[in-house]
């Protein structure tokens, strides 16, 4: 049995990152939609942000439009850091911005690298290439 190449392992690593981050964004979006009192944001902003997390998170899980959906997620996390967390420090319990920073970095990485090994984006690319 031949060992996997570095490129194959990297592609699987990106796939793992994409799926896990999709699940995290899905969960965050669902939580905010079902527990809106958990945040101090106004209703329309909360609903809009929750829908972005929910829809883009679902797209990440299946690997659909990975680079495109990672951009609004990264911008949403940047806004979260700047609007919700400025008075608090980096790691201060629930008020810290370390979780949003990790999600920002992961979203930026996915926007730069693409979907990884197993994704609907790859199926679409194969179909376009075969025509």
Please report whether residue 87 resides in a domain. Answer: yes
| pTM, two decimal places | 0.84
* Closest alpha carbon to 31 in 43, 40, 39: 39
Whether 1 maps to a domain, the answer reads no
For residue 36, the model assigns a pLDDT of 60
Which 8-state DSSP code applies to residue 80? I
Residue 39 CB neighbours (<10 A): 14
Q: How many domains does the structure of the chain reveal?
A: 1
In-domain check, residue 68: yes
The two structure tokens encoding residue 19: 């799926």
Classify residue 21: in a domain, yes or no.
yes
Position 18 in a domain = yes
- Tens of pLDDT, residues 5-47: 888 899 999 999 999 999 999 998 888 888 766 566 667 777 8
Q: pLDDT tens digits, residue range 47-95? A: 888 899 999 999 999 999 999 999 999 999 998 888 876 656 666 565 6
For residue 3, CA distances in Å to 10, 97, 117, 118, 129 come to 13, 39, 17, 19, 29
| Structural domain boundaries, residue 39 | 6-130
Place of tokens 């629930």: 94
Average pLDDT over residues 91-107: 80
């Amino acid at each position: 049995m031949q060992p996997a190449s570095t490129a194959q392992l990297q592609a699987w690593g990106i796939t793992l990152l994409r799926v896990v981050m999709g699940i995290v964004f899905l969960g965050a979006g669902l939580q905010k939609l079902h527990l809106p009192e958990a945040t101090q944001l106004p209703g329309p902003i909360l609903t809009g942000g929750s829908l972005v997390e929910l829809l883009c998170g679902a797209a990440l899980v299946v690997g659909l439009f990975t680079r495109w959906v990672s951009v609004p997620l990264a911008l949403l996390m940047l806004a979260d850091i700047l609007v919700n967390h400025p008075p608090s420090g980096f790691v201060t319990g629930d008020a810290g911005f370390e979780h949003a920073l990790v999600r920002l970095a992961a979203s930026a990485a996915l926007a730069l690298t693409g979907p990884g090994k197993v994704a609907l984006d790859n199926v679409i690319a194969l179909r376009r290439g075969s025509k």
